[in-house]
Structure 1
Amino acid sequence: MLKETLLQLLIVLLPVFLVLVWYDRPERSKYVPFFIGMSCAVTMLLCMHFSIVFPESGLRYDLRHVPLIIGSLYGGFPAAVILSITYIAVRLAQMREPFEFILFAAFLAVVLPLIFSRIRSFGRGNRSKRLRITYWISCFVLVFMLISVSSHIDFTDGSSLSSAVVKIFVFGSIFFFSTAAGVHFIELGFDRVQLQTQLKDVSQQYRQETRRLQQFIDSTPLAVLFFDDRGTITHANDYIRDMLKIEGTEEFIGKRFSDLRHLLGGQINIDSIERVLNGEDRISEMIQSEGKVYFAETRSVKGPGRQSASNGVLFIGHDVSELQRLKEEVDRMERLSLVGQMAASITHEIRNPMAVIRGFLQLLGERSPSEQQTYFRIVMEELDRANGIINDFLSLAQNRIVQKEYGSLNEILQEVLPLIWADANMRGQIVELRMCEQVEKLELNSKEIKQLILNLARNGMEAMDDKGLLRIETLDLADTVQLRIIDNGVGIPEEKRERLFEPFFTTKTNGTGLGLSLCLSIIERHNGKIQVESLVGEGTTIIVSFCKPEKA
């Protein structure tokens, strides 16, 4: 009797263990109802085949209702229909007495509709709700099973009655245990797979966020270096590799910063990293390297909490060269504004007295002896030169809207070329002209462009000695029209090229430092750009680029 009961228990729990073994991956979740339904159908047939028959009463004892309940609830409507048909067909073949048919009909009328009505709510419920539904249905099934057992008990025989009560208690306990165990273990399997799914989702999200963070660090226009708490380099982004001119990371990843002083010393302050490793929280500084300016911050990397120990060092470098250039440009504009204010204040105060002085000098010169005429001419030339300086002040300070008309740069250049040739002949120099045949017309103010060309040409001639060659070119490019003025003079050192367009800065002995500033203001009013290329001892090339109207 005990062996048969254990066999029934093992058979009824067989589909539960099969589900736990088979349902180990989330991608199999859509096949779970079919698998549970089929395994419960096989289990139900095995339970009914290996039923225990009591010889004294002819009572059949098995746990066929456990797979019927579990398979119907977890397998859904298709599994419930298959299990019900299978159960009805086999049970009808086993029944012999009229009372069994009546009880079976009542079972079909009460229990099966109850199971079908709870399938949808069972599938949508949580674990506790599923257990309540299972216990509720089990109670109804147990009532019909007890009625069936009581029909075979002889209540007049005391020993038979006590034995039957024991059997009913054992049978009910095993039925409830097996039903509850089956649902419990299946729910554990579901929870396990759900945890796997959640863990997989969290891991995937973590990898995605890590990948996004990695891509952000690598693509950000900041130089980023990570060091662990021992000063070993653990990560470097693409920007810092480009800044250090290193193709790969194998040269410094995994090495201590102190061992790479020759590599990091120019752009990164090694002492700052060491100070942060020794306990300082953060250090901010400006670093200049290879003509660029970097704002660098070295700070300690700590875990959550203010009192956490340091986990390493983070270095961040931001290229602020453009900001520095803009600051210098603002400073230059402020100086230009100051020049404008000065020019506006002195123009009326100086020009009128100078005009009176020049008039009286001219009158005195006409009445003076011929041997003194040279002195008066020199004084008037110097007055004219002073007046020219004042005019340069005014031109530099004016912030007016110039009247522009469509014109050809070649035509304007042809108009001023005789003046350039005459100046070159007086110096014994040669002017070579190379103009592009077809140059797109631009919006130009011819007077200002003539002044620009004359200033740049005379600067080039003044930079050359006798027999020097000045070449003037025009080029029609895709987006711009270029004017190039090339001399073979002494050239300009790099430290002076950076200050060429500052007011009052000059490389000439008798220069005022206003010529190139005036040229720059003209170019800016024409939405152009100017570039200086020079080699000391070989010459200088001035490139003026005018943006074409359709590209502006």
Structure 2
Amino acid sequence: MLDAVKDILLQILSASSFIFLFQWWLDQSHIIRRNRQFPDDQALLIICCAISITLCTIFSTTLFGVVYLNLAILPAYIGILYGNFRSGISLAAFFMLCTALFSVPPGIGNMVVNTGVLMYPLLLGFVRPFKKGKIIQKIGMLWAILAPSMLFIVLMPKMNGKNIYETLSADTFLVTVYLFITVMLGGLFIFCIETAWDRLQIKEQMKGISEKFKLESEKLQQITDAVQLNIMSMDDSGYVTELNEFMLKLIHRHYPELTRETIMSQPAGQLFRKYIDEQTYSRLENIVRSKQRTNAKITCATSTYQIYTEPLLRDSGIPGGVVMIVQDLTEEAKLRSELDNVERLTLVGQMAAGITHEIRNPMAVVRGFLQLMREKSPGELDSYYQIVMDELDRANAIINDFLSLAQTRVSDKEMVQLHLIVEELSPLIWADANLRGQSIELRLNPSLPLLMLNVREIKQLVLNLARNGMEAMDPKGVLTLETRVNEDRVELMIKDTGGGISTSQIENLFVPFFTTKNHGTGLGLSLCLSIAERHNGKIAVESQEGVGTVFTVSFPFEKEESAATTRLLK
């Protein structure tokens, strides 16, 4: 009796092996479906069933020497139902081969009954409705085929004339239990397989949802990183949960040692506490904790920020955090202040220009009467009159330069080549240089493109820069004037061999009334810069003390437009 129980338990373990093996195989997550009609997980199930059939057949025996004990019929039937026609025929043939090799039931008839061959056509017919059915329907289909097959197996001894069921004995009870357990195991195996597949399906769905969520999160992060605003989100406690790249750069401006991970492990208010006063910190804390839409401006160190907050709502509509957008207004505030200064200076300049214009008229009258008085005065007073008249002329020159600098009207321009203007001025520059004992070197490019210039203003610019260079040189100094094309700009270079200019002086060189000379108004270079800017040009200065200075005036030009204009003029 005990041996019979052990044999039944061994068969149960052998028959269950395909369930454990199949579930373990599914959990490895190495399954890739290649065929929709016969997916790999079904193929694995067939293989596991074949292994279980082999084990059950090897350990097959008989109960009490008459009832055939081999639960391989369970994995065989289940494998056929879950497979297709080809795999079902193959598994049935494999079952019969294992029975012939490892188990020897007496007679061909016994072998046909013990392997359930008579039920194979019915099994193959149930394959399609079995796969479409629900779990209860599948268990019912298996029981409808398995119960008669097991009944045939346990009644086979009686059919052979061995009446072991005539009395209600322990042996009969054990055989009945064996029959019941086998049928119940079939239903349990179906349940385990369906559960394993459902778990695999849920796992794949969760993986897909997780990947989709990850992709959407990355996409959202890319969008927030692309927005040129500082964005940060916080939870109910005010701790940072997410931030974009611009916010990270803003925080690094004050805390360069912090990483994204360390930032997201502390309250948002702590990030700026070091640089703001207690009142501003309390205000920032209230903004974050209010979980309401707010709009406030705060000052942190030397920077000004505009802070916008918007509550993050849960499904129930209750605030579950807040998103904060920080806009840096520091540069905007500086530009606004500079613009206000420019507007005030413009107004002052316009007023000064009007005043100086009115001053010229009485100065002209004063100078005229001084000349009359000089003619009627003794000769020894001529030197005094000359000093007064020279100072009046100097004041008039300052007024003229100031009016030119304050000029806002649009000047008349024409298409002209820059080197022609320099050639036209060269005799005047040569004459000035000869008086100083200096020399002039011209390096003019005759193939310069045409530019839209005001000839009178450009002459004034060239003369001012040339005379500045000559005044900076000693006798026998050399002044070089060169024109050239540099990519999309025409350049005029005026180079002297004077003493050079210090770096501190270069920074203030174009500031009105700033001068490095013992005499002069300090308006010449400011006027030159004003003329260049009215032509969309620039002036660059390079200087080396003891070597000399180079002023480079550059004007932009459109290559195609300039070439077309040149062809028309020709």
Residue 116 in structure 1 maps to residue 152 in structure 2: no
Distance in 2 between residues matched to 1:181 and 1:17, nearest whole Å: 10
Distance in 2 between residues matched to 1:227 and 1:175, nearest whole Å: 72
Distance in 2 between residues matched to 1:519 and 1:502, nearest whole Å: 11
Distance in 2 between residues matched to 1:437 and 1:51, nearest whole Å: 110
Among 152, 171, 188, which residue is 1:180 paired with?
188
Among 173, 176, 184, which residue is 1:168 paired with?
176
Distance in 1 between residues matched to 2:457 and 2:378, nearest whole Å: 42
Aligned length in residues: 458
Residue 6 in structure 1 maps to residue 9 in structure 2: yes
Offset of residue 21 of structure 1: 6.1
Among 280, 283, 297, which residue is 2:274 paired with?
283
What code does the residue aligned with 2:17 have? L
What code does the residue aligned with 1:68 have? A
Offset of residue 377 of structure 1: 4.9
How big is each residue's C-alpha offset from its partner over 1:167-218, in whole Å with a ceiling of 9 and x where there is no partner? 23333325534763686489669969959x959x88xx79x98xx99xx989
Query: Partner of 1:428 in structure 2?
Result: 437
Q: Give the alignment of 1:95-494 within 5 angstroms.
A: 96=109, 108-109=121-122, 111-119=123-131, 135-145=139-149, 147-148=151-152, 159-160=167-168, 163-177=171-185, 180=188, 184=192, 282-284=273-275, 333=342, 337-365=346-374, 375-494=384-503
Offset of residue 474 of structure 1: 1.8
Offset of residue 517 of structure 1: 1.9
Offset of residue 544 of structure 1: 1.7
Distance in 1 between residues matched to 2:498 and 2:511, nearest whole Å: 21
Distance in 1 between residues matched to 2:46 and 2:61, nearest whole Å: 24
Whether the 8 Å contact between 2:478 and 2:497 is mirrored in structure 1 is yes
Offset of residue 462 of structure 1: 2.3
Offset of residue 355 of structure 1: 3.4
Q: Evaluate the alpha carbon distance shift between residue 107 and residue 21 of structure 1 in structure 2; reply closer, same or farther with a 3 A threshold.
A: closer
For 2:167, what is the secondary structure of its paired residue? helix
For 1:353, what is the secondary structure of its paired residue? helix
Distance in 2 between residues matched to 1:50 and 1:399, nearest whole Å: 110
Distance in 1 between residues matched to 2:43 and 2:467, nearest whole Å: 95
Q: Evaluate the alpha carbon distance shift between residue 142 and residue 76 of structure 1 in structure 2; reply closer, same or farther with a 3 A threshold.
A: closer
Q: TM-score, normalised by structure 1?
A: 0.65
Whether the 8 Å contact between 2:42 and 2:82 is mirrored in structure 1 is yes
Whether the 8 Å contact between 1:531 and 1:542 is mirrored in structure 2 is yes
Distance in 1 between residues matched to 2:334 and 2:502, nearest whole Å: 19
Distance in 2 between residues matched to 1:17 and 1:169, nearest whole Å: 24
Q: Give the alignment of 1:62-101 within 5 angstroms.
A: 62-68=70-76, 70-72=78-80, 79-80=87-88, 82-83=90-91, 96=109
Distance in 1 between residues matched to 2:170 and 2:64, nearest whole Å: 17
Distance in 2 between residues matched to 1:120 and 1:402, nearest whole Å: 89
Among 519, 531, 536, which residue is 2:528 paired with?
519
How big is each residue's C-alpha offset from its partner over 1:374-406, in whole Å with a ceiling of 9 and x where there is no partner? 555544443343333223223222333333322
What code does the residue aligned with 1:420 have? I
Q: Evaluate the alpha carbon distance shift between residue 159 and residue 295 of structure 1 in structure 2; reply closer, same or farther with a 3 A threshold.
A: farther
Query: Partner of 1:290 in structure 2?
Result: none
Distance in 2 between residues matched to 1:399 and 1:139, nearest whole Å: 103
What code does the residue aligned with 2:491 have? Q
How big is each residue's C-alpha offset from its partner over 1:476-533, in whole Å with a ceiling of 9 and x where there is no partner? 2223222111222232221221122223333233333322222222222222222111
Q: TM-score, normalised by structure 2?
A: 0.63
Distance in 2 between residues matched to 1:379 and 1:162, nearest whole Å: 148
Among 519, 526, 538, which residue is 1:510 paired with?
519
Distance in 2 between residues matched to 1:323 and 1:467, nearest whole Å: 52
Distance in 2 between residues matched to 1:42 and 1:538, nearest whole Å: 96
What code does the residue aligned with 2:457 have? E
Offset of residue 534 of structure 1: 1.6
Distance in 2 between residues matched to 1:67 and 1:515, nearest whole Å: 105
Distance in 1 between residues matched to 2:358 and 2:493, nearest whole Å: 39
Query: Partner of 1:255 in structure 2?
Result: none
Distance in 2 between residues matched to 1:467 and 1:328, nearest whole Å: 49
Among 13, 18, 33, which residue is 1:15 paired with?
18
Distance in 1 between residues matched to 2:518 and 2:460, nearest whole Å: 22
**Identity percentage of aligned residues:** 39
Query: Partner of 2:280 in structure 1?
Result: none
Distance in 2 between residues matched to 1:394 and 1:365, nearest whole Å: 30
Query: Partner of 2:231 in structure 1?
Result: none
Distance in 2 between residues matched to 1:356 and 1:226, nearest whole Å: 65
How big is each residue's C-alpha offset from its partner over 1:397-426, in whole Å with a ceiling of 9 and x where there is no partner? 233333332221111111122222232233
Whether the 8 Å contact between 2:445 and 2:484 is mirrored in structure 1 is yes
For 1:490, what is the secondary structure of its paired residue? coil
For 2:91, what is the secondary structure of its paired residue? helix
For 2:514, what is the secondary structure of its paired residue? coil
Q: Evaluate the alpha carbon distance shift between residue 371 and residue 540 of structure 1 in structure 2; reply closer, same or farther with a 3 A threshold.
A: same
What code does the residue aligned with 1:170 have? Y
How big is each residue's C-alpha offset from its partner over 1:216-275, in whole Å with a ceiling of 9 and x where there is no partner? 989x988959999xxxx7989xxxxxxxxxxxxxxxxxxxxxxxxxxxxxxxxxxxxxxx
For 2:274, what is the secondary structure of its paired residue? strand
Distance in 1 between residues matched to 2:28 and 2:50, nearest whole Å: 23
Distance in 1 between residues matched to 2:197 and 2:118, nearest whole Å: 35
Distance in 1 between residues matched to 2:334 and 2:474, nearest whole Å: 34
Distance in 1 between residues matched to 2:404 and 2:78, nearest whole Å: 97
What code does the residue aligned with 1:9 have? I
What code does the residue aligned with 1:447 have? R
Distance in 2 between residues matched to 1:18 and 1:335, nearest whole Å: 88
Q: Evaluate the alpha carbon distance shift between residue 281 and residue 295 of structure 1 in structure 2; reply closer, same or farther with a 3 A threshold.
A: closer
Q: Evaluate the alpha carbon distance shift between residue 342 and residue 47 of structure 1 in structure 2; reply closer, same or farther with a 3 A threshold.
A: same
Q: Unaligned regions of 5+ residues in structure 1, if any? A: 122-128, 237-278, 286-293, 298-317
Query: Partner of 1:497 in structure 2?
Result: 506
How big is each residue's C-alpha offset from its partner over 1:447-493, in whole Å with a ceiling of 9 and x where there is no partner? 22111111112222222333333222222222322211122223222
Query: Partner of 1:289 in structure 2?
Result: none
Query: Partner of 1:547 in structure 2?
Result: 556
What code does the residue aligned with 1:341 have? Q
Q: Evaluate the alpha carbon distance shift between residue 431 and residue 327 of structure 1 in structure 2; reply closer, same or farther with a 3 A threshold.
A: farther
Offset of residue 350 of structure 1: 1.8
Whether the 8 Å contact between 1:52 and 1:60 is mirrored in structure 2 is yes
Distance in 2 between residues matched to 1:146 and 1:542, nearest whole Å: 109
For 1:159, what is the secondary structure of its paired residue? coil
Q: Unaligned regions of 5+ residues in structure 2, if any? A: 34-39, 226-243, 261-269, 277-300, 305-327, 562-570
What code does the residue aligned with 2:7 have? E
Q: Evaluate the alpha carbon distance shift between residue 20 and residue 337 of structure 1 in structure 2; reply closer, same or farther with a 3 A threshold.
A: same
Query: Partner of 2:307 in structure 1?
Result: none
What root-mean-square deviation, in Å, do the aligned CA atoms of Structure 1 and Structure 2 show?
Answer: 5.2
Distance in 1 between residues matched to 2:337 and 2:432, nearest whole Å: 35
Whether the 8 Å contact between 1:430 and 1:470 is mirrored in structure 2 is yes
